[in-house]
């Protein structure tokens, strides 16, 4: 299984190594650096790199390469998924997962990694269990520890590890019992030049933050569960119940977790909440090009579109752009050729617009392709698929919890071809 793990930052320094079996020399990473050099961008590094004696599997997140070394046949997704889980755990422990944070908390990181794998096989990956074994660092705890001499390491086996509900610890107590659910939907779409949709899909997740005392048993039902085409659950959800009644029934983990991710069936037409009108033209002869983008709302069900951000990778021939936006800020990086325009809120009465000229490299002919435009936006209080939670019930405990549900629609990979 997994032999070793190396964390490598974007400048190519190995800043952490951990071995679960015999020590593998860090020179094995040279193969990785080689591959990294060959790939132009960080994302393009091949995820599996075979070397004469080992295989290097890597994941690139938060500007850190997580490189796992394995020696024998393992399902590659097993390793990749585990690496992602490691990143998630770090994020859970420290809030952010960055080189600095990992370096600062290297001991905790080491202890966590030690618990996560035994002899290269995952031992405890539930963050609830890990947090009982090794408590995440907080300022308060550090102070207390230095004064009292107590430790971050739990000396009892977490109860969850042995129970049938490993994701929940026993003896949870809160004064305010709350359960919040966020229904977040992302639209992945490709829109062509003329504004018609080539493909559009909705990916949704329900993230929950549950702070309830004891062992509550929750059921969540939807008004229109038929919408959900393909779902994947947190292990706590009882699959049988979903199959037969389309009700989510579960004993929730404590704290934040992803209850469900779903996909809305492609048969349903996806409402596209924004449109982009663009006019980008290069002329062969002159060294100037025209550039104009307008963003407007469409099918938003009366909600405002916020947090709009337009980015576009301009062709290499573009030297500079002089643009004037009707609202928001725009930047153009002449090195990476990345144009980004932070639009903000869309006011339907006065549509935001970015207009100006591009100066092109003299002598070169016009690029074959107009740049594609990537769009980000947010719409609060709306699930674009129309999914609605019907009710949330709690069994098994006596108190009345405070329940809340929030909807949000975001752009996923929303691309407009020009």
Which stretch, 199-207, 213-221, 288-296, 388-396, contacts another protein (CB under 8 A)?
199-207
Number of residues near another protein (by CB under 8 A): 92
Shortest separation between residue 311's beta carbon and another protein, angstroms: 10
Nearer to another protein, 229 or 397 (CB): 229
∠ CA 198-203-204 to the nearest 5 degrees? 150
71 binds another protein (CB under 8 A): yes
Rounded CA separation 159/177 (Å):
22
Answer for the pair 306, 296: CB distance below 8 angstroms, yes or no: no
417 binds another protein (CB under 8 A): yes
Here the tokens at position 212 are 């309830």
Among 9, 51, 114, 319, binds another protein (CB under 8 A): 114
Among 34, 100, 119, 334, binds another protein (CB under 8 A): 119
Which stretch, 177-185, 247-255, 301-309, 310-318, contacts another protein (CB under 8 A)?
310-318
Which stretch, 105-113, 268-276, 347-355, 389-397, contacts another protein (CB under 8 A)?
105-113
Of 379, 383, 206, 354, give the one whose Cα is nearest residue 293.
354
76 binds another protein (CB under 8 A): yes
217 binds another protein (CB under 8 A): no
369 binds another protein (CB under 8 A): yes
Which stretch, 70-78, 212-220, 324-332, 399-407, contacts another protein (CB under 8 A)?
70-78
209 binds another protein (CB under 8 A): no
Among 374, 386, 389, 397, binds another protein (CB under 8 A): 374
Nearer to another protein, 239 or 399 (CB): 239
3-state secondary structure the chain: CEEEEEEEECCCCEEEEEECCCCCCHHHHHHHHHHHHHCCCHHHCCCEEECCCCEEEEEEECCEEEEEEECCCCCHHHHHHHHHHHHHHHHHHHCCCCHHHHHHCHHHHHHHHHHHEECCEECCCCHHHHHHHECCCCHHHHHHHHHHCCCCECCCCCHHHHCCCCCCCCCCCCCCCEEEEEEEEEEEEEECCCCCEEEEEEEEEEEEEEECCCCCEEEEEECCHHHEEEEEECCCECHHHHHHHCEEEECCCCEEEEEEEEEECCCCCCCCCEEEEEEEECCCCCCEEEEEEEEEECCCCCCCCEEEEEEEECCCCEEEEEEEECCCEEEEECCCCEEEEEEECCECCECCEEEEEEEECCCCCCCCCCCCEEEEEEEECCCCCCCCEEEEEEECCCCCCEEEEEEEEEEEEEEECC
Residue with tokens 């320094």: 13
Contacting another protein within 221-250 (CB under 8 A): 229-235, 239, 243
Rounded CA separation 7/14 (Å):
6
84 binds another protein (CB under 8 A): yes
Contacting another protein within 143-172 (CB under 8 A): 146, 149, 151-153, 155-157, 161-162, 164, 166
281 binds another protein (CB under 8 A): no
Residue 55 C-beta-side C-alpha neighbours within 13 Å: 15
Nearer to another protein, 257 or 407 (CB): 257
188 binds another protein (CB under 8 A): yes
Which x/- pattern, by CB under 8 A, does the window 16-45 give for another protein? Answer: xxxx-xxx--x--------------x-xx-
266 binds another protein (CB under 8 A): yes
Q: How many residues does the chain have?
A: 418
Among 1, 264, 271, 293, binds another protein (CB under 8 A): 1
Nearer to another protein, 21 or 303 (CB): 21
121 binds another protein (CB under 8 A): yes
Could you give the 3-state DSSP secondary structure of residue 263?
Answer: strand
Among 95, 110, 306, 329, binds another protein (CB under 8 A): 110
Nearer to another protein, 11 or 349 (CB): 11
Shortest separation between residue 2's beta carbon and another protein, angstroms: 11
Nearer to another protein, 87 or 351 (CB): 87
59 binds another protein (CB under 8 A): yes
372 binds another protein (CB under 8 A): yes
55 binds another protein (CB under 8 A): yes
Contacting another protein within 316-345 (CB under 8 A): 316
């Amino acid at each position: 299984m997994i032999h070793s793990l190396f964390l490598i930052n974007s400048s190519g320094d190995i800043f952490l190594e951990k071995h679960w079996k015999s020590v593998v020399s860090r020179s094995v990473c040279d193969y990785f650096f080689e591959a990294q050099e060959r790939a132009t961008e960080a994302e393009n590094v091949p995820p599996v790199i075979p070397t004469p004696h080992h295989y290097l599997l890597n994941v690139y997140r938060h500007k850190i390469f997580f490189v796992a070394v394995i020696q024998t046949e393992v399902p590659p997704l097993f390793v990749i998924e585990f690496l992602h889980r490691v990143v998630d755990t770090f994020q859970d422990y420290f809030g952010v997962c960055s080189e600095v944070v990992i370096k600062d908390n290297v001991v905790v990181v080491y202890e966590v990694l030690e618990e996560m794998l035994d002899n290269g096989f995952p031992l405890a990956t539930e963050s609830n269990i890990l947090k009982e074994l090794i408590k995440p660092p907080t300022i308060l705890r550090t102070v207390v520890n230095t004064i009292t001499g107590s430790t971050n390491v739990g000396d009892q086996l977490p109860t969850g590890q042995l129970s049938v509900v490993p994701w929940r610890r026993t003896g949870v107590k809160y004064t305010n019992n709350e359960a919040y659910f966020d229904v977040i939907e992302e639209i992945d779409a490709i829109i062509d030049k003329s504004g018609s949709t080539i493909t559009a899909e909705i990916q949704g997740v329900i993230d929950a933050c549950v702070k309830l005392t004891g062992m509550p048993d929750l059921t969540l039902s939807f008004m229109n569960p038929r919408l959900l085409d393909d779902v994947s659950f947190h292990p706590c959800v009882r699959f049988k119940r979903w199959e037969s009644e389309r009700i989510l029934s579960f004993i929730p983990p404590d704290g934040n977790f992803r209850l469900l991710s779903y996909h809305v069936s492609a048969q349903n037409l996806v409402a596209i909440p924004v449109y982009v009108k663009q006019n980008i033209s290069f002329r062969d002869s002159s060294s100037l090009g025209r550039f104009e983008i307008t963003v407007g709302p469409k099918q938003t069900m009366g909600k405002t579109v916020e947090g709009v951000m337009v980015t576009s990778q301009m062709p290499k021939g573009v030297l500079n752009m002089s643009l004037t936006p009707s609202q928001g800020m725009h930047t153009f990086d002449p090195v990476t050729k990345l144009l980004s325009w932070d639009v903000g809120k869309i006011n339907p009465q006065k549509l935001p617009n970015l207009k100006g000229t591009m100066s092109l490299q003299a002598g070169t002919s016009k690029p074959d392709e107009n740049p594609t435009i990537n769009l980000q936006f947010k719409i609060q209080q709306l699930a674009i698929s129309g999914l609605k939670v019907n009710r949330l019930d709690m069994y098994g405990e006596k108190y009345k919890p405070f329940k809340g549900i929030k909807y949000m629609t975001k752009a996923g990979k929303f691309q407009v071809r020009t």
